[in-house]
Amino acid sequence: MLRASVLAACVAAATAFSPSALPLGTATRKATSGPTMQLYKDGKLQGAGVNCIPIFKRPASLKGDMVGDMGFDPFGVSSYANMQFCQEAEIKHGRIAMLAFAGILAEVIGIRFPGVDSVYAASNDIFEIHNMAVEKGSMGQILLWCGFAEICGGLPAMNAMLEGSGRKPGDFGFDPLGLGKKNFERKQLVEVMNGRAAMLAVSGMVHHALINGKVQGLP
């Protein structure tokens, strides 16, 4: 039963990001004259007037209305894909990568809750820890409950956004500490930029561990 539930959650969650589910952007994109929601440094670091790599022309399909818009789209994805969908995927992956980065650091330097060593031993090798978590069923539970949350909350929210509900990508109305009450636009940009950095960092850490046997620069 558990295996069937895990498989169902995995398939349903993966379907949302499969190529066949990728919406085209021509029907829902709205043109704007410039940055409307990004106010960090008066919009100078993002938006319609930004071209982060001068040797490439800024794509006309990037309208300057997205958080983190740096004018970088060498493959022209913004010309055929719905950028709300793409930004939702980027924000989600960035959040996961930030959690993964913190988790890898904690495991490698030996920060653990009491009693964990008796279940997962005292290894600080990220691949050994992963394999033990799979063996003990922890990874299956993570997949099951994250898949459940995505099916029941994530997919309906994204579908409503694509149908014109006005919801912003990545907005799940979750702010128990009230951090969005002040400088919200700047914090949106910070989240996107840190998420991009974390995706690159986690990729590097995993490959270093795979090649060198440990995460480079850590004990």
CB environment 6-34: b (16+ within 10 A), e (fewer):
beebeeebeebeeeeebbebeeebeeeee
pTM above 0.75, yes or no: no
Residue 170's Cβ-count burial label (10 Å; 0-12, 13-18, 19+) is: buried
Tens digits of residue pLDDT in 37-47: 444 454 455 66
Query: φ and ψ at 119, to 5 degrees?
Result: -100, -45
pLDDT at 27 over 50: no
Give the per-residue pLDDT at 16: 40
* CA dihedral angle for residue 96, residue 199, residue 204, residue 70, rounded to 10 degrees: -170
Query: Per-residue pLDDT for 124 more than 90?
Result: no
Choose the weakest-confidence range: 88-92, 132-136, 157-161, 213-217.
213-217
Under 8 Å between Cβ of 185 and 38: yes
Give the residues across from 24 on adjacent strands. 81
How many helices (H) and strands (E) in the chain?
Answer: 7, 0
In this predicted structure, the answer to whether residue 85 has a pLDDT above a threshold of 70 is yes
Mean pLDDT across the chain: 76
pLDDT digits (tens, 9 = 90+) for 101-122: 998 888 888 787 887 777 777 7
